[in-house]
Structure 1
Amino acid sequence: MTQVINVVVAGLGGQGVVKASDVLADAAFRCGLDVKKSEIHGMSQRGGSVASDVRFGPHVHSPMIPTGQADFLVVVAPDQVDVNRHVLKAGGLLVSPASLEKVPGKLQAKSINVALLGVLSRSLEIPLEIWEDAIRGCFPEKHHRLNLEAFEQGRQAVAG
């Protein structure tokens, strides 16, 4: 990887936005990349908007992604797509719950954030085993199976 990748993860409080950004940041770090992360919580304890910027690459100067410069926008809540679309650069990729329409099997609501990371993983140069290690590292052992399955379901939703 020769350039900095900018990813915004957005949604509502309680949907695992921060946890998803933690997994992404951990996966990039496990690849030996420089990683910076920032969060805006707003009224997140009451279901308000939450966004987290994750930047990674050979060398990252700032944790904040300039408006209109996100390579990827991962949105956990469908009603937050239009609210956050302005952060995505022209030609950037939107990953939203609509990306999961072809998920094989039943997807639990509490693991949609990780399923969306599975979708995102198809567009990033991070090996599958690194993603799996990051998921195991960010969740208690009792939640490993659920989240690993959700991640794989997200990957399968966009399998080519």
Structure 2
Amino acid sequence: MSNVKNILLVGVGGQGIILASKILSNGLINSGYDVKMSEVHGMAQRGGSVTTQIRYGEKVYSPIIGKGQADIIVAFEQMEAERWIDYLKPDGKLVISDYKIPSVPVLIGDVDYPNTILEDLQERSKPTVIKAAKLAKELGNIRTQNIIMLGALTKAIGLENINWNDIIKSMIKDKYADINIKAFTMGKELID
């Protein structure tokens, strides 16, 4: 099963992680891959943790990614990156949005949001940090940060040969398709 790739998307409810995962999965299926996807919503509508695990290859038997097995983790929020870092392979890639969403304990003042997350992660991996929220605002719609991260993911893992524009157009309302295609292209351009 060495041809199977493991992708873990992590973040907080309301960030569009499920939509990004569905676009990714559809693109992979349309390209002939066997794809398995698992999603965990948690308290998604209340800002809780959301994760999706996507495995693709010639033949995939399970959607579950174990610790130390993710080829790439894409974190839509900093604290979630730190929470899931143990799932990354030693040579895996980590793409992180610099965005911070305070959890309930932070909001009520019980704890402070950790200020050293990105530095801590650099000790365990070589993360690519993206200012997705800032870029999405500059693009004109903060809600496109998920598609910016998706674009970065596809380039980071080598999936540029899929016609992502058509997949995005088929899954997003017409009036938002163009801005999301721009966001996707912007995300790809952020990865070397």
Question: Which residue in the other structure is 1:95 paired with?
Answer: 95
Deviation readout 1:43-86 (Å, 9 max, x if unpaired): 11100000000111100000111122010101111221101111
Select the residue among 164, 168, 172 that pairs with 1:135.
168
Question: Which residue in the other structure is 1:148 paired with?
Answer: 181
Residue 66 of structure 1 aligns to a residue whose secondary structure is coil
TM-score, with length taken from structure 1: 0.90
Deviation readout 1:116-137 (Å, 9 max, x if unpaired): 1111111334345522122112
Q: Is the 8 A contact 1:30 1:130 kept in 2?
A: no
1:77 alignment partner AA: E
- Given the alignment of the two structures, is residue 44 of structure 1 paired with residue 44 of structure 2, yes or no? yes
Question: Which residue in the other structure is 2:16 paired with?
Answer: 16
Identity of aligned residues (%): 34
Aligned length: 158
Structure 2: stretches of 5+ with no match in the other structure? 99-128
**Alpha-carbon distance, 1:105 to partner:** 8.8
Tell which structure's C-alpha radius of gyration is larger.
2
**Alpha-carbon distance, 1:109 to partner:** 2.4
User: 2-side partners of 1:72 and 1:26: how far apart?
Assistant: 18
User: 2-side partners of 1:119 and 1:30: how far apart?
Assistant: 20
Q: Is the 8 A contact 1:6 1:71 kept in 2?
A: yes
- Given the alignment of the two structures, is residue 60 of structure 1 paired with residue 90 of structure 2, yes or no? no
Question: Which residue in the other structure is 1:5 paired with?
Answer: 5
Question: Which residue in the other structure is 1:76 paired with?
Answer: 76
C-alpha RMSD of the superposition: 2.0
Q: Which moved more, 1:54-63 or 1:89-98?
A: 89-98
- Given the alignment of the two structures, is residue 123 of structure 1 paired with residue 123 of structure 2, yes or no? no
The runs of at least 4 aligned residues of structure 1 exceeding 6 Å deviation read: none
